[in-house]
Amino acid sequence: MLKKNRFLIIPFIICISACNWFKSPPEIGKVLSEHFKNKIYKDFDTVAYDSVFVKTLDSLADGFVNPKTIKAFYAKHNREPKLITKFYTNGELDSLNTYLENSKVHGFNPKIFKVEEIKSLLEELSANKFKKVDESYPIIAKLEVLSANAYLNYNNYLKFGVVNPRNIFSRYYIKVKRPDSAGMIRLLDSENILDTLRAVQPKSEQYKALQAAYLTANSESERRILLLNMERFRWKMPETGTNYIQVNIPDFKLTWFDKQDTVISMKVCVGGKRENGYDEKLKAYAKSGNLDDKPKNHETPLLFSKINSIQANPVWNIPVSIAQSEIYWMARKDRYYLSNSNINVYYKDKLIGEPDTINWNRYSRDKLPFKFKQGSGGGNALGKFKFIFDNSSSIYLHDTNNKNGFGLTNRAISHGCVRVEKPLEFAEKLVGDSYTYDKLRAEVDLPPVDSTHVKWYKKRMAAKADTTKSFQLKPAWFGPKKQVPIIITYITAWAQNDKIEYRPDVYEMDEKLWVAMKKFR
């Protein structure tokens, strides 16, 4: 009989062991009994508490941001009240609640952390008025669960931001780091909540400057802009290092930073704002399929990459969208437009010798069988230089023939790529040595800076002037001395020279972010 029953006894022993039955009383009972000098906690019943905890967690989890992670943590620890056991008697749960109450200094509404409920539960537990130990179970379970959720959320919001920009902006291609379950489990396993809360406070000088301005601003509109940009500085961006290039779209400016110093700064023109009513028009286009219904969206995407090459005398591979919306119509209107604009036409990747003879009436613009390339030269839309970095949007920096654009206040006028005001100076900084720089200058018919390099320049100019030979201008490639990180970003308020600079919300991205942050503010 004993042999038959031993297989039933072993699982039973394992089960009651997992429920901490062999702890008499369990750790939470010992901690609270000693703290309150109250013997009722020595009767702490793990099985009875466990049942209350499971019901409490299930009833609250639907309102949590990371319910699966929290459930996994407590399943791993046999649903023990780990936070209360470690952090109630030493006052760290009170410190947590203080940080949550003060979260308004970061622009948060403390209500999102259930501050009042946690405070009430702490007071109820501290009152020590339970007649029986089982009366404390619902209080302990709820305080444990709400504290764990608030602790995770507070840390995640400060470390990573409250929203994922990639979820709300269609052209946000920067891979921002987001919270993961392993990191959150480690947070809940912390040995010192207070140290963690101190460590998670943003260290960025930009963030602290915006925060100080936010706390003193009287205008609601100003507080709104500051809050939105505090959120942007909370996003966990890729590491740029101390030497990097930033294009800030609302500022219409490129700045090359080396630590705190500015290597070079210049105006830029960026992509034009999408059409008004873009979303509704896009739906109409999706139904009709008619290109006439397709709304325009030339907004420059936000991205992170590294500049890996410079092209002098670039060729412009004209995008299909521009071919359909502009080149097609110009060619129909003026039969010599293509040749006069140095635009080559290709059919099945073969060059068409006489593009002026094409009968455009035979082709609809939505089914153009041609590719268009504008050759190197003075009339090229990209100007004399193109600065290339890997990205999925075919975006690059480039020179331009239309210098008038840099005199505009609103410089959101391009088809999406970024036009730079001082391409030659920018190229000089990138190549980093006089030898390469003079080679690059010679390609665009500029005399060398170093007099020992005059020979190259004269040789090139002689070849170009030789009427017995056909001189063909071709792109020339140059590598930067070192690949330089570039981030195209969107910041409408930042600290500079001990004051806050503000810029217009040119793409209305502030508005979208404000809506996404509604439940947190």
500 three-class SS: strand
Catalytic residue among 106, 269, 298, 417: 417
Q: How many CB atoms lie within 10 A of CB 291?
A: 15
DSSP 292: G
Contact 437, 431 (CB under 8 A): yes
Task: Extract the tokens encoding 251.
Answer: 């500022």
Contacts by residues 417-421 (CB-CB < 8 Å, ≥ 24 positions apart): 417/271, 417/300, 418/247, 418/254, 418/268, 418/269, 418/270, 418/300, 418/488, 419/268, 419/269, 419/383, 420/254, 420/266, 420/268, 420/387, 421/254, 421/266, 421/267, 421/268
CA distances from 488 to 13, 227, 302 (A): 61, 21, 5
> CB within 8 A of 4, min separation 6: which ones?
none
- Give the end-to-end CA distance of the chain in Å, rounded to a whole number: 67
* Active-site residue, 398 included: yes
Distance CA 505, CA 521 (A): 20
Catalytic residue among 106, 269, 398, 453: 398
Contact 373, 355 (CB under 8 A): no
Q: What are phi and psi of 53, to 5 degrees?
A: -65, -45
Distance CA 443, CA 461 (A): 10
Contact 278, 422 (CB under 8 A): no
* Active-site residue, 269 included: no
Contact 83, 151 (CB under 8 A): yes
Distance CA 393, CA 164 (A): 20
Taking CA 96 as the corner, what is the angle to CA 26 and CA 44, rounded to the nearest 5 degrees? 15
List active site positions.
398, 417
